[in-house]
Structure 1
Amino acid sequence: MQGYRTLLGTAVGEYEEKHSRFIAEIKPVSNEEEALAFIKEQKSKYWDARHNVYAYRLLGDECRFSDDGEPHGTAGKPVLDIITGRQLSNVCIVVTRYFGGILLGTGGLVRAYSEAARNAVDNATIAEMGLIDKFSLHCDYQQYNRLLPFFAKYDVNINDTVFLEDVIINFALSNEKSESFLLALTDNFAGKISAQKEGQIFAPVNIIKNNID
């Protein structure tokens, strides 16, 4: 997996139809445990509501949803469809409904839950997560001065530098650039400097303030 879309924080969206109020809250989650904890939290927060519908999607396309008493297929699945339609992963949406006294019918429920969830996503800050490789290397001080402009060319992010008898640099860069970077490092420094890979993480590589695309 090279990347995925998720949230940088929570967001809220609302929708009202025939006096029924729908409050959608969306939150990033890392696993099912976090998703279930968020659902429990929202149900406690809106304990007096008629329904607390939810849907979540994790990496690997692991999905789960609940209509929470609404007619089958009118609530949880439409919310999940908003998540998958926006290509989001590791997110959970809970849509709370305060009943307004008028039945909405199947089509009305699907529309209302979809719109509430869509509004929450539109209000969220979306992050495109990319795979980042982490490295460390040792060099002398003369090599260090040459490395800095070389790092800038490859958009290397220096996380930590330790100045001792030699210089130790801990840095990270996009997985897509790692191979060409390592080859260029060998060529530019005649094989006298080598970087050791320390691991991989996912990190934001692009921020979308309004995910309405």
Structure 2
Amino acid sequence: METKFITITQNDQHELDIKKSRFIANGFRIKTEQEATKFIAEIKSLHHKANHHCFAYMLGVDDHIQRASDDGEPSGTAGVPILEVLQKNHVHNTLVVVTRYFGGIKLGAGGLIRAYSNATSQLLEQTGLVNRVEQTLLHLTITYAQLDQLTHWLKTHAYQIQDTKYTDQVVVAVAVTTHDVDSFQEALKNLFRGQIAFQPQGTQYNEIPFKNDD
């Protein structure tokens, strides 16, 4: 089962100029096909003098909805290349509309495929991706003498302290990816020879930066 839920950081725009044609890529976070239709209509209205508004989008954790449109470009030269970039980057709930203002010079099928693909991939690179993960907020109770060691361990393992409370002991709040909670607790139990207490405070979905290394 897909364990990552990757999407774009925010709605954004990126433009390419290729042989006098303008390719304006707009990316949107969406949750429904109705939202996708709305954004496509907005782009068409904004750029009503453009020649083409090609798009692709994927919806759902398993991408059960996938749509693509060439909007008058030769079949397979626009919508599919956009969709393939979304698929390669494993992004969910994302719509990309690439608007083209024709500059008078034909690019050919290969040129169009590269243009629409590059406009999309550069948009994703510019905007950045995030992974929406379920995290459990844990309260870690330790002694004052353990605080420096715990802080160092958390920093070394890329965990951020969300809050610290000082009473007769120290309570440190840390968000941990839910499926990593057991291994996280086991590692700290070993580090402190069992002299640490954990109290789960519930779960929440957080977005963390994601880099696709494919």
TM-score (norm 1): 0.72
Query: 1:14·1:120 contact (CA, 8 Å) conserved in 2?
Result: no
Matched with 2:135 is 133
Stretch moving more, 156-165 or 35-44: 156-165
Aligned residues: 205
Query: 2:23·2:116 contact (CA, 8 Å) conserved in 1?
Result: yes
TM-score (norm 2): 0.72
Query: 2:136·2:203 contact (CA, 8 Å) conserved in 1?
Result: yes
Matched with 1:25 is 26
Q: Once the 2 structures are TM-superposed, how far is the Cα of residue 207 of structure 1 from its aligned partner?
A: 5.1
Whether 1:194 aligns to 2:194 is: no
Runs of at least 5 residues in structure 2 that lack an aligned partner in the other structure: none
Query: 2:68·2:79 contact (CA, 8 Å) conserved in 1?
Result: yes
Aligned ranges for residues 1-213 of structure 1 at < 5 Å? 1-9=2-10, 10-17=12-19, 19-27=20-28, 29-32=29-32, 33-58=34-59, 59-61=61-63, 62-101=65-104, 104-122=107-125, 124-127=126-129, 129=131, 131=133, 133-137=135-139, 139=141, 143=143, 146-147=146-147, 149-154=149-154, 155=157, 156-162=159-165, 169-175=172-178, 177-186=180-189, 188=192, 190=194, 193-206=197-210
Q: Once the 2 structures are TM-superposed, how far is the Cα of residue 113 of structure 1 from its aligned partner?
A: 2.3
Kindly tell me: are residues 26 and 111 of structure 1, through their superposed partners in 2, closer, same or farther at Cα, counting changes over 3 Å?
same
Runs of at least 5 residues in structure 1 that lack an aligned partner in the other structure: none
Q: What are the Cα deviations for residues 129-152 of structure 1, in whole angstroms up to 9, with x where unaligned?
A: 26352224374xx63552553254
**SS where residue 3 of structure 1 aligns?**
coil
Counterpart CA distance in 1 for 2:85 and 2:21 is 20
Identity %: 32
Stretch moving more, 163-172 or 49-58: 163-172
Counterpart CA distance in 2 for 1:49 and 1:178 is 51
